Amino acid sequence: MRINSDPEAADTPRRRLFVYNGGFLTQKRIRRILQLSGYDIKLGKPKSGDMIGIWGQSPTSHRGQAVARHTDAPILRVEDAFLRSIHPGRSGDPALGLFLDQRAVHFDPSRPSDLELLLSSHPLDDAALLNRARTAIERIKAADLSKYNAHDPDLPLPPPGYVLVIDQTKNDASVTASGANRARFAEMLVFAQEEHPGAQIIIKTHPETLAGHRPGYYSASDSSRRVCLLTDPISPWALMDGAIAVYTVSSQLGFEAILAGHKPRVFGQPFYAGWGLTADEAPVDRRQRKLTRAQLFAAAMILYPKWYDPYRDQLCELETVIDTLEVKARSWREDSKGHVAIGMRLWKRAPLQGFFGRHKKIRFENDPAKATELAAKTNASVMVWANKETAEMNQTLILRVEDGFLRSKGLGASLNAPLSLVCDDLGIYYDPNRDSRLEQLIAVSPNLPEPAILRSERLIQSLKRAKLSKYNVGNTDLPDLPKGHRILVPGQVEDDASILKGCCEITTNIALLKRCRSENPDAIIIYKPHPDVEQGLRNGQTDAAEYADVTAKNSNSISLIDAVDEIWTMTSLLGFEALLRDKPVTCLGMPFYAGWGLTTDLVTAPDRRCAKPTLAELTHACLIGYPRYHDPVSNLPCPVEVIIERLQNSSLPKQRASLQILAKLQGLFASYAHIWR
């Protein structure tokens, strides 16, 4: 899908690329990356100045090579980049990047490729570049990312201390380019056993072999007392951690082994061999330079590939691809076993499928007993809207769903689809009486690495510049506000679960106003009614005139925050939004952002909340680690930064006509809002 043309593409010199492989025509993602890189795919006979595109050393590459010999047209060799997708290309997953090489294929040692020339002659001494490389390595490792990413984090790992032998698909081009065959793989297995007597040997099966696309070089016949064929989809990074040695012919996992701190034993001649980071059985004589891991990574992952951003439809940097693949991998790992959802309103079901049903469709049931039975049969999770959970539900199976903190352009009660949802297997963020997944993320947030903190700080600045809130409604032109020390008191829906679970003595808007006035007799108190209440969709109408100087009706919450000096609240999310804008917040309840040392708390925090995160650390947990985001434009899971851009640019699809009609009917029958909420 073309989403937003790359502004740089118009400035890229164009070149006609003649192809003789159907994949260039049928694979939309490949065509788009080539187009953004300056190549226009054509059929026919090339002329002077044209190029010929071939896919690596595929079975069809001889066609383009033959035309090149007859026309003297130069060849562009195209291959997948090293952070590709969740599933292999043969499973239909499009790539997030390509290698476009005008000299050779990166895995062919017979002649230097563009990548090899980068590794051999580029200075690779720029401090900023190498710092980017080191940071990206740590991010990829922390996010558990590889070329393919259908890993199951719940699978048990073999006991550490084993030797890892990496299988590849039979007759793969990178294997044959290294002159390897079945005998070479058999020899490698013998070396692994002889060089590590007594150690367990684990053979890692290739993902395409697991998916049934292509056989590998090893099979069950290679297993023995010491040798185990590992066919489970276990993370390569987790396997590297437990290995004492790594053996490969030419697999990309050999490259990842280097990044994980190993010096792999290499029996082929892949691009990463020959630079002092591998033990080479068949050295490439022309490779004499000694590189660091960061230098190898910088060339192979930052300088060499063409990376693609599917949300903005443009070429991008590696860091954007890491963001993209991280959320796609999370979606797979959390949803691939499926969910059974209990009692979800009809209008919520399509958004839920978009968030949690990409890999296996959600089954909807109204009967909790039937839902639990179905989930047990299919090894799925039971999903319920958080405030609909009952004591009869099996607590260990429940995933509680709620709106995220950067939700939509318009109210949820007006049936606007969410852009973010949270899914909690422990509790739910608004209930301080028990632990939640968010609470655990906040508790460990002081241990976040520096890149995560920097990302969080950038996120805060983006939110402030864009003036975004949860619902992004209300008039930004405020009424005239009296001068003086201004306190904003946000009204809440008084039967909301966050009030019922998170408040003790103060549980109504009028009680909140009364307490605020008694503590601040000379302040200018501004009361903001909750937008759902203003539209008559929820309970909580309050006559604030006795305690408030101004009732700011239909006002934008961020504009009000910017205009006041502090905020008093029970549990409103507006308190968190005020923290992001450096405003003091006093809490008379216990919302998720209270009890961590960033707010003035007039109730006692749970003993669990003993960490003292910074605002950036708290924000990372609340807006990056906890929610899931769905981009309605590309229909993909996405990072929070994409949602900020969509809201800021108003580039969201219109609400479905059926929901527009239903939302208008709500206004006429507001007292029956519980039916559709």
The predicted model gives 507-515 an average pLDDT of 96
Q: Report the Cα 426 to chain-centroid distance in Å.
A: 21
SS3 content of the chain, % helix, strand, coil (to 5): 40, 15, 45
The predicted model gives 185-203 an average pLDDT of 97
C-alpha span between 44 and 21 (Å, rounded): 12
C-alpha span between 362 and 425 (Å, rounded): 17
Residue 38, pLDDT score: 97
Q: At residue 672, does pLDDT exceed 80?
A: no
Q: At residue 143, does pLDDT exceed 70?
A: yes
Q: Which CATH topology does 443-640 take?
A: Rossmann fold (3.40.50)
Right CATH for 145-294 from 2.60.40, 3.40.50, 1.10.150, 3.30.420: 3.40.50
CB atoms within 10 A of CB 378: 14
Query: Of 109-113, 168-172, 252-256, 478-482, which range is least confident?
Result: 478-482
Residue 66, pLDDT score: 95
The predicted model gives 41-66 an average pLDDT of 94
Q: At residue 540, does pLDDT exceed 60?
A: yes
> Do the beta carbons of residue 30 and residue 98 sit within 8 Å?
yes
Residue in the block written with tokens 């519980």:
674
Identical fold between 145-294 and 443-640: yes
Residue 413, pLDDT score: 58
The predicted model gives 329-356 an average pLDDT of 94
Residue 668, pLDDT score: 46
Q: At residue 412, does pLDDT exceed 90?
A: no
Q: At residue 256, does pLDDT exceed 90?
A: yes
Report the candidate in 410, 384, 379, 411 with the shortest Cα–Cα distance to residue 395.
384
Amino acid at 43: L
CB atoms within 10 A of CB 79: 23
| Confidence class for position 472, pLDDT limits 50, 70, 90 | confident
Query: Of 26-30, 47-51, 643-647, 668-672, which range is least confident?
Result: 668-672
Q: At a CB cut-off of 8 Å and minimum separation 6, what does 501 contact?
A: 430, 431, 432, 433
Q: At residue 434, does pLDDT exceed 60?
A: yes
Enumerate the domain spans of the chain: 9-121, 145-294, 443-640
| Confidence class for position 440, pLDDT limits 50, 70, 90 | very high
Q: What is the CATH number of domain 9-121?
A: 3.40.50
Three-state SS for 87-108 is: CCHHHCCCCCEEEEECCCCCCC
* The model's pTM: 0.92
Express each pLDDT in 336-345 by its tens digit: 999 999 989 9
Q: What's the chain's average pLDDT?
A: 92
Query: Of 1-5, 62-66, 427-431, which range is least confident?
Result: 1-5
